[in-house]
A and B are shown apart, each in its own frame.
Chain A
Amino acid sequence: MIALLLLRRFSLRHWRLAPGQSALLVLILALGVAVFIAVRLANQSAVASFTNFTTTLVGQSDWVIEAPAGPLSEGVLAELRAALGARPVDLIPVVETTAGRPLPSGDTPSLERQTYTVLGIDLIAAANLPGARAASRSFLGSRADFWGDFRAGPRLWVPPALAGEKSLRLVIDDAVVDLPIAGLLPAAPGAPAFPDNLLVMDLPRLQVLADKVGRLDRVELVVAPGPRIEERRAELGAILTRLGRNGERWLVRTPGVQRATAEKMTSAFRLNLAVLSLIALLVGLFLILQALDGAVVRRRGEIAILRSLGVGEGTIRGTWLLEAALLGLLGGATGLALGWLAAQAAVQVVGRTFNALYFATTVHAAALHPGDAWTALLVGVGASVAAGWWPAREAARTPPAQILSRAGAPAAGAWLWRRPWAGLALAATGIILVRLPPLRFAGGVRFPLAGYAAALAWIVGGGMIFASALPALAARIRRLGARSAPLRVTVGHLAHPSSRHRLATAALICAIGMSAGMAILVASFETTVRGWVARALQADIYLYSAGAHSASAENRIPAATWRVLARHPGVVQAWVLADYPLQYGEGAPAVLSGTDLELIPARASLPWVAAPRDAAVFDPARNSGLALVSESFADRFDLHRGDTLRLPTPAGVKALVIAGEFSDYGNERGTVMVERSHLAGWLGDDSATHLSLFLRPGINPEAFRAQLRREYPGLQVFTHSTLRNEILRIFRQTFSITYALELIGVVVSVAGLALAMASVLLDRREELTTLRALGFTHREIALAGSLEGACLALWSIVGGLALSLALGWLLIHVINKQTFGWTLGFAIPGWSLALLAALVAGTGWAVSYAVGRWSADLPADREE
């Protein structure tokens, strides 16, 4: 109660005395919370858009079976029906493919356009489902219309976003088809809303269009409602597992597991964004610590009065923590509103990245749930109270005798910031932490907890080392003080820095270190990817289905088409790649890739992590039991050269010895690469994901591309340079959000520098009075203040860049390696870092000068 009283009569009145400063502090905290919340909402919304589309249409199924690699044979329906006997279970066979809009002629090919998911379900079977009867009735319309629809050919049901369209021109595989629209999709009761990219057709029609006649992508099973449903559901699961031979023929999962798989698939990407979003919050935390610590210094006299009046240590500590909590509450609430606004922009970027790298998503807006509001407030209050703990402790320890002293030495601040050994100890702790392995979870998901802890140790430790080295810096430049009076004052303050100087330096070092560290990671990634692209892409022409507009696209080039292209007189050699989604182990998503391995030695210089010991893997006659795996796959599943992996296929389980391990930056799920001709036999499919063509000497690739575009409107044709540029464009776009987050971190820290300098100069009003009395002009007082701020900014740049080298190394060789399994070279983006340094130095100088000018105009400190 007394703490509340003190908060109202003591702390809040100080807020009212300096409303601008209080508002800036709330805003800084709000910005930190906003960035965290924006990224969280964007991530959540992008993942939430991945849903089991069948659920949207016909309600929740109980079990889903799908092959670990390749399709299921339609024959499983009869097998299942026979095995289930008279049990009241409905089977929903599903074919799912993707489609894209055709490229307008002359348009630049792109691997990142809107992808539609086309779902084929048996509409008549669906109509009999009790849970979906209402929806199915509207699906089928009147019985007469329905049969009319069938006679009219394939038709589409579309989401409300496409209402008003009469038909859609789509590319499915290499065919361009015009599909009339039959109507709008009717939702099952209680089902999630339709994504804008969902199209539905009758199953047999889609099987024909997608070249999947006799094949299914999955079968969903619904247990009829009634008594003992849980028991019957469990019994069905057991039967399916037995028939599926524990995952060798098919995987048995609940629809919820599919969603969890999508979440797992993107967890590393989302986690990295979330960690990055903490930059601003971490910097904000430093600034709150700084502000509250400064308040302790400023209000020491008042605290001493309160102590002399009998207020206990606990009450003083409680008052300070309450003030921190209130600050956190205001910052959290403001941050929630700002974060929601920012999320609307961020979700587009995250969505595009998900679309390009993981799965089709059409999310346009980020939804806010009550849980997010609580999270924002919790983050705001938690961060603020954590930052306020030390100042609260310092405040509580203020001895009543302090009241007798009016002026004294500048507050040196918490001992922590004056002890370089504490920073060195943290740095050493980080060195130990980087040697620890990541945490491993089911499905090959890894989390580099120790790596992140090491990063935190180095960030805080680096800040402490450089902040405590300020006096040493001042000692080195002390001679400069002889040059002018403002410089003398500046050097004096740097030689005896207050806790605010130290905390401002630490905050700026933290922001610069993290931003520059991320820049080093991105540059290293880009340099490595450029090298990889140069080595892996050596053909003249690359062909994809025009429907394959993202990594999630399943559209392929049919065997008949690619064989014709391979025999083209202008082509010296064709190289086929066929990628399939693979559910490895207990359903962990990976990629199964079939290619002409014999072409690798001559046509591509794969970056080997562990090169094959002999050439058997490149010989189709000897490589049926061999495979190459990507580094990510090897790391995720701990399978390396010489180990055997068991690959479930429709033709049975294949035991493959890993002949070599290569670097691949196309996906972090991991790739198993086998001889294409063997894989075609195992899966019963000889289509291609993409085709690379090596042209005869003298043939102009651009002219050849133009010719293919005319002859094959259903294909996307890239030349070597357009594909390379497209890959790098997607790469840069993927990292675009990181640039924004880095910039916000730097802005927050420079604002923090301004806040720190304002507080420092405000605390030194007595000194300003003295300087005026000594004859300092306004300009000289402003110059002294700005030199002080600029020196702090420059020292922070030195410290931040040094820290960034350590963080860059950590991100590349520990966190990235443990999360994604990618080996990257180390590249320092000199120009980017110079730009960052110039930006911080320039803005640091400018804000310090502004604050210096402001302080020079402060009224004199009156003593009477």
Chain B
Amino acid sequence: MAATGHSSAGLAVAGVGKSYGSRAVLADISFSVRAGERVALTGPSGSGKTTLLNCLGGVDRPDAGEIRLGDLRLDRLDSSALAALRRERIGTIFQFFHLLPTLSVAENVELPLQLLRVPAAERRDRVHALLERVGLAGRAAALPSQLAGGEQQRVAIARALIHRPGLVLADEPTGNLDSANGANILALLREMTEEARPILILVTHSEEAAAICHRRLHLRDGRIVKET
């Protein structure tokens, strides 16, 4: 697969179910998302948002149903194919940033490109350009612990987008930020996804965050109970 970018393909979820022991976390989840569309997953704690996100990202497997990203059936891929899918076509943003604390800002952002074996010179240029874009070019050598929360999330966004994925999964990206920083991050996320046009699946409790999306899917007890 090309290392310089991926055309956005649609995401289709049909009849997905997932249980932990006897507890059903997801039940008969079905929806589809077009390329470049932003979708918010909302719902109370324990409604299954993050589990659904994990299944979409291939770090967890559904017990039932199917998940298609373009022409690929995620639920049928083995673990190494799922790892390849994640490194090539998926970008993830976490609530707690999850930057590697021992790598610098630039190294964190560069890591997905290294996994794709992009040549060093190209990596350097792309990382620099993206850090310029998120306003952190001057902090490229800093460690995550030396950054404020909002800055860390900007690095995480840069890392999620550096390899131009077709699907970006964001799990409460503003959940650990104050309102000002949260608003900045949402604006950045919107701008950047409008430029690259990946699918964005955004798990959130926040009205402000959901507002940047084209659609909302509301989950309760593992089911989609409302779509707006």
- Chain A interface residues toward B at CB < 8 A: 406-410, 481-482, 484-485, 488-489, 492-493, 495-496, 766-767, 769-770, 772-780, 860, 862-864
Apart from A409-B101, A779-B80, A860-B59, what 15 extra A-B contacts exist at CB < 8 Å?
Answer: A407-B96, A488-B107, A492-B100, A496-B143, A766-B96, A770-B94, A774-B86, A775-B115, A776-B83, A776-B87, A777-B84, A778-B79, A780-B115, A863-B96, A863-B171
State whether the Cβ of B174 lies closer than 8 Å to any Cβ in chain A: no
A406 touches B96 (CB 8 A): yes
A780 / chain B contacts, CB cutoff of 8 Å: 83, 115
Q: Which of B46, B86, B87, B103 contacts A489 (CB 8 A)?
A: B103
**How distant is the Cα of A481 from the Cα of B107 in the complex, in angstroms?**
9
Known contacts A482-B120, A775-B88, A770 near B100 by CB under 8 Å: yes
Contact A775 B86 (CB under 8 A): yes
Separation of A777 and B86 alpha carbons in the complex (Å)? 10
Contact, CB under 8 Å: B103 / A492: yes
In the complex, are the beta carbons of B49 and A772 less than 8 A apart?
A: no
A408 to B143, CA, bound (A): 11
A864 adjacent to B102 (CB under 8 Å): no
- Residues in chain A near residue B60, CB distance under 8 A: 860
Contact sample, A vs B, 28 pairs, CB 8 Å cutoff: A406-B96, A409-B143, A410-B101, A485-B111, A488-B103, A488-B111, A489-B102, A492-B103, A496-B101, A496-B102, A766-B98, A767-B98, A767-B100, A770-B99, A773-B90, A774-B86, A774-B112, A775-B86, A775-B87, A775-B88, A775-B112, A775-B115, A777-B83, A778-B79, A778-B80, A860-B54, A863-B96, A864-B49
B51 interface hit (Cβ, 8 Å): yes
Determine if A769 and B59 form an interchain contact, defined as CB atoms under 8 angstroms apart: yes
| Chain A residue nearest to B103 in the complex (CB) | A492
Q: Is the CB of B51 within 8 A of A864?
A: yes
Cβ of B4 under 8 Å from chain A: no
- Chain A, Cβ-Cβ closest to B96: A407
A780 to B117, CA, bound (A): 13
**Cβ distance B86 to chain A, nearest Cβ, rounded Å:** 4
Specify which of A407, A772, A775, A864 is in contact with B46 (CB 8 Å cutoff).
Answer: A864
Q: Are B45 and A864 in contact (CB under 8 A)?
A: yes
B150: interface (CB < 8 Å): no
Question: CA of A780 to CA of B80 in the docked complex: distance in angstroms?
Answer: 10
| Closest A residue by C-beta to B81 | A777
Contact status of A495 and B86, CB under 8 A, knowing A488-B111, A773-B92? no
A589 to chain B, nearest CB (A): 61
Distance between Cα atoms of A495 and B145 in the complex (Å) = 14
Q: How many A-B residue pairs have CB under 8 A?
A: 100
The verdict on B95 contacting chain A, using a C-beta distance below 8 Å, is yes
Who on chain A is nearest to B89 by CB? A775
Chain B 160-192, CB within 8 Å of chain A: the 1/0 string? 000000000001000000000000000000000
Distance in angstroms from B67 CB to nearest chain A CB is 16
Q: How far is the CA of A864 from the CA of B18 in the complex (A)?
A: 15
Give bound CA distance, A772 to B85, whole Å: 11
With CB as the reference atom, state the residue of chain B lying closest to A773: B92
- Tell me, in angstroms, the Cα distance from A327 to B92 when the chains sit together: 42
Most chain A CB inside 10 Å of its own CB: which residue of B46, B101, B110: B101
The answer for the CA separation of A485 and B107 in the assembled complex, in Å, is 10
In the assembly, what is the distance between CA of A716 and CA of B167, in Å?
Answer: 89
- B114 interface hit (Cβ, 8 Å): yes
Task: A407 to B45: give the CA distance in the assembly, Å.
Answer: 21
Q: Does B36 contact A (CB under 8 A)?
A: no
A485 to B88, CA, bound (A): 14
Residues of the A chain whose Cβ atoms lie less than 8 Å from the Cβ of B80: 777-779
B62 within 8 A of A: no
In the complex, which residues of chain B have a beta carbon less than 8 angstroms from the beta carbon of A778?
A: 79-80, 83
Assuming the A-B contacts A767-B98, A860-B60, A862-B50, are A775 and B45 also in contact, with contact meaning beta carbons closer than 8 angstroms in the complex? Answer: no
Q: Is B198 an interface residue (CB 8 A)?
A: no
Note all chain A residues with C-beta closer than 8 A to B87. Answer: 774-776
B60 CB to nearest chain A CB (Å) = 7
Contacts A407-B96, A482-B120 known; A773 to B101 CB distance under 8 Å?
no
Are the C-beta atoms of A408 and B103 separated by less than 8 Å?
A: no
Does B57 sit at the interface, judged by CB under 8 A?
yes
Residues of A within 8 A of B94 (CB): 770, 773, 863
Give the docked Cα–Cα distance between A767 and B85 (Å).
Answer: 19
B interface list, Cβ under 8 A from A: 45-46, 49-51, 54, 57, 59-60, 79-80, 83-88, 90, 92, 94-103, 107, 110-112, 114-115, 120, 143, 145, 159, 171
In the complex with contacts A772-B83, A776-B115, A860-B60, A410-B50 CB distance below 8 A: no
Nearest chain-B residue to A489 (Cβ)?
B100
Chain A contacts of B107 at CB under 8 A?
481, 488, 492
Contact residues in A for B54 (Cβ distance below 8 Å): 860
Bound together, the chains give a CA A770 to CA B94 distance in angstroms of: 9
Closest 6 CB pairs of A and B: A775-B87, A492-B102, A775-B86, A409-B145, A864-B50, A496-B102
Flag if B102 contacts A493 (CB, 8 Å).
yes
State in angstroms the CA–CA spacing of A7 and B110 once bound together: 45
Q: Which residues of B contact A496 (CB under 8 A)?
A: 101-102, 143
Contact B86 A772, beta carbon cutoff 8 Å: yes
Q: Is the CB of A410 within 8 A of B115?
A: no
Residues A410 and B102 in contact in the complex (CB < 8 Å), given A778-B79, A864-B46: yes
- How distant is A212 from chain B, measured CB to nearest CB, in Å? 79
Inside 8 A of A481's CB, which chain B residues have their CB? 107
Shortest CB–CB separation between residue B173 and chain A, in angstroms?
A: 13
Q: With A406-B96, A485-B111, A863-B96 in contact, do A772 and B102 touch (Cβ < 8 Å)?
A: no
Chain A residues within an 8 Å CB radius of B57: 773
Inter-chain contacts of A772 with B (CB < 8 A): 59, 83, 86
State which of B98, B102, B159 has its C-beta within 8 Å of the C-beta of A495: B102
Report the separation of the CA atoms of residues A536 and B103 in the bound assembly, to the nearest whole angstrom: 64
Q: When A772-B59, A778-B79 are in contact, do A484 and B114 touch as well, CB less than 8 Å? A: yes
Residues of A within 8 A of B98 (CB): 766-767, 769-770, 773
Residues of A within 8 A of B95 (CB): 863
Q: Which residues of B contact A779 (CB under 8 A)?
A: 80
Closest to B85 in A: A775
Considering the complex, give the chain B residue whose CB is closest to the CB of A482: B120
Please give me the residue from chain A that is nearest to B113 by CB atom.
A485
- How far apart are the CA atoms of A488 and B54 in the complex, in Å? 25
Report how far A860 CA is from B79 CA in the complex, Å. Answer: 13
For the complex, give the distance between the alpha carbons of A495 and B94 in Å. 25
Complex CA gap A863/B115 in Å reads: 25
Residues A774 and B79 in contact in the complex (CB < 8 Å), given A489-B100, A864-B46, A864-B50: no
Q: Which B residues lie within 8 Å of A863 (CB)?
A: 50, 94-96, 171
Nearest-Cβ distance from residue A855 to partner chain B, whole angstroms: 15
Closest B residue to A474 by CB, please name it: B102
What's the Cα separation between A409 and B144 when bound, in Å?
Answer: 8
Q: In the assembly, what is the distance between CA of A863 and CA of B53, in Å?
A: 12
Q: How distant is the Cα of A409 from the Cα of B88 in the complex, in angstroms? A: 29
A375 nearest CB across to chain B (Å): 44
Complex CA gap A860/B55 in Å reads: 12
Cβ of A862: which chain B residues have Cβ within 8 Å of it?
50
Quote the shortest CB–CB distance from B121 to chain A (angstroms): 11
Tell me which residues across on chain B come within 8 A of A860, comparing CB atoms. 54, 59-60
Chain B residues with CB under 8 A of A777: 79-80, 83-84
Residues of chain B within 8 A (CB-CB) of A484 are 114
B79 partner residues in chain A, CB cutoff 8 A: 777-778
Q: Which residues of B contact A776 (CB under 8 A)?
A: 83, 87, 115
Give the shortest distance, in Å, between A301 (CB) and chain B (any CB). Answer: 13
Q: Smallest CB–CB gap between B148 and chain A, Å?
A: 13
Tell me how far the C-beta of B99 lies from the nearest C-beta in chain A, rounded to whole angstroms: 8
Complex: A862 Cα to B171 Cα, angstroms: 12
Question: Residue among A493, A769, A770 with the most chain B CB within 10 A?
Answer: A770
CA distance A860 to B51 in the complex (A): 11
Chain B nearest CB from A862 CB (Å) reads 7
Complex: A532 Cα to B59 Cα, angstroms = 69
Q: Chain A residues near B45 (CB, 8 Å)?
A: 864
Q: How far is the CA of A408 from the CA of B99 in the complex (A)?
A: 10
Closest to B47 in A: A864
